[in-house]
Amino acid sequence: MTTRTRTWILLAGLSALFVAVGGLVGGTGGIAVFLLIAVAFNFAMFWFSDRLALKTSRARPLEPGEAPDLVADVEELAARARIPVPRLYLIPSQQPNAFATGRTPKRSAVAVTEGLVTLMPREQVRGVLAHELAHIRNRDVLVATLAAMIGAAISAIAHFLQFQWLFGGDDDESPLGLVGTIAAILIAPIAAMLLQFAISRQREFLADATAAELLGTGRPLADALATLQRGVEVIPMQVNPATASLYIANPLSGHGMASLFSTHPPIPVRIERLVALDAARGL
């Protein structure tokens, strides 16, 4: 099963959960109301997400003539990916890291930290840039917005059910209906969140694979991921939790059970997959 297929299966599961929970509110009418609320909220976030992400990270536009190697590599990789050259930004942090944002390829931007440019070999930086351009080519902002829209609607329905149950519940409600309502209130938002995170992890795997395709090998990105992991562990960086999922190496990543609540797959697993891709190609 391909990574793309897994992504759409997870989105289908999230949609099914939304339909089931929405039906508890009032059938089709209840679903429509909360869907409209979720669409309006997430459309606004989708429209302004690039500006918000760049502002919260304190990123500034690259000056003319600044970091010429970075500019040249982005232009070359964008041509390979057949996408417009994104705007480039620099984040004032010594932790090596980067993210891509923008609602469409024409409106995209790539922000890299000062540490990425100064501390990492150029070939590894190219690996990171290829990963970020892969997110743009794969339209991952759109996929993430769809998942967030459905997840937000599920949470809104759960909150409505909680309010209705506490203050306006029906005394004649059947035990089965009561169990369903409690499950929707307690379990549905957590399940939706886990599905969203799983979708995000699949998109990271897909971006890694696409980056390897753009570079002709996964080795530069695999080496870069190992460097990024060390950098995240030893160099602190102030990151808004709301934007942490955008970065190629998640500053808030966890291990064990915490990995279920991570938006990124474990870096060792990502490296293993890149090595396996090269082996499959005889590289």
* Catalytic sites, residue numbers: 132
- Contact assessment for residue 195 and residue 17, using Cβ atoms and an 8 Å cutoff: yes
Chain centroid offset of residue 226 CA: 20
Number of continuous H segments (helices) and E segments (strands) in the chain: 9, 4
**Bridge partners, residue 113, by sequence:** 91
The amino acid occupying position 161 is L
**Bridge partners, residue 255, by sequence:** none
Burial class (CB in 10 A: 0-12, 13-18, 19+), 78: buried
Give 267's contacts (C-beta < 8 A, 6+ positions apart): 225, 226, 228, 229, 249, 253
The values of phi and psi at residue 89, to 5°, are: -130, 155
The values of phi and psi at residue 101, to 5°, are: -150, 175
Round to whole Å and give the CA distance between 146 and 158. 19
